[in-house]
Amino acid sequence: MKNLLTPPTFDDFLTLLRAWRLWLVGALLGGLLGMAVYAVFPPAYRARAIVMVDLNVEKNFPISPDREIFYYLDRETRQLQEIAWSDAVLQEVSGKNRLSVVDLRSGTLSLSQPGDGGWHFYADSADSGLAAKLARDWALAFSAKAHPEGITITPTQIENLKTTRTVPLGTYTLAGATLGMVTLAFLSLYWNPKSPDFGKSNVGDV
């Protein structure tokens, strides 16, 4: 085995770049390992419900400077976000699903694209059915609690929600393939059983 403190030579790197079979084997083995990890430790399911939030800018501000409209959008969006994460909303979701509010706020629920348009209410769970129910209940609880003046809130996608894994199989496969190639490349540079120094200790070498 080569001394890990001794950098590989240019010839070593050149030989490594030409060893396409090594890269192929590393990618294949690493990809299979990534698929195995995905099968044994699968990521959670994720469901998405959508609530349409119409801030009615044209109606509330028919003729106003852009700065005033921007301030209005930012203020109303922040207020609605606070309602979405409020104790009243999350306690309703918690009571229907036997999960604590702390669990819901600790990565189980997530909110995306708040603003003037579709709000995406995400829920993650190891159970696909529970993920869909959590997303639906959260969207409905938000819609029931939020009644701002001049704003229209309408749940648009809350039934028969599709669930997907939070991380796809392809990501695991790609990560495993990359790790496999890097690992075999490292071993090929520093591990050479045919070397006369193989198995000898390098401690004390200068």
Both structure tokens of 184: 């075999």
- pTM, two decimals, is 0.73
Q: What pLDDT sits at residue 181?
A: 79
139-163 residue pLDDT tens:
999 999 988 777 889 999 999 999 9
CA–CA dist 105, 33 (Å, integer): 33
The mean pLDDT value for 6-33 works out to: 70
Nearest to 88, CA basis, from 104, 76, 74, 67: 104
Q: What pLDDT sits at residue 11?
A: 60
46-100 residue pLDDT tens:
999 999 998 877 776 666 666 777 787 888 889 999 999 999 999 999 999 989 9
99-143 residue pLDDT tens:
999 999 998 999 987 767 889 999 999 999 999 999 999 999 999
Domains of the chain: 10-41+168-190 (no CATH), 45-165 (3.30.70)
Q: What pLDDT sits at residue 27?
A: 82
Q: What pLDDT sits at residue 156?
A: 93
Contact yes or no for 175/38 (Cβ under 8 A): no
Q: How many helices (H) and strands (E) does the chain have?
A: 8, 5
Q: What pLDDT sits at residue 19?
A: 63
Both structure tokens of 93: 């979701």
Beta bridge partners of 164: 46
161-187 residue pLDDT tens:
999 998 888 888 999 888 887 887 777
CA–CA dist 167, 183 (Å, integer): 23
Q: Which residue has the higher pLDDT, 38 or 26?
A: 38
Q: What pLDDT sits at residue 128?
A: 94
Nearest to 29, CA basis, from 172, 171, 167, 179: 179
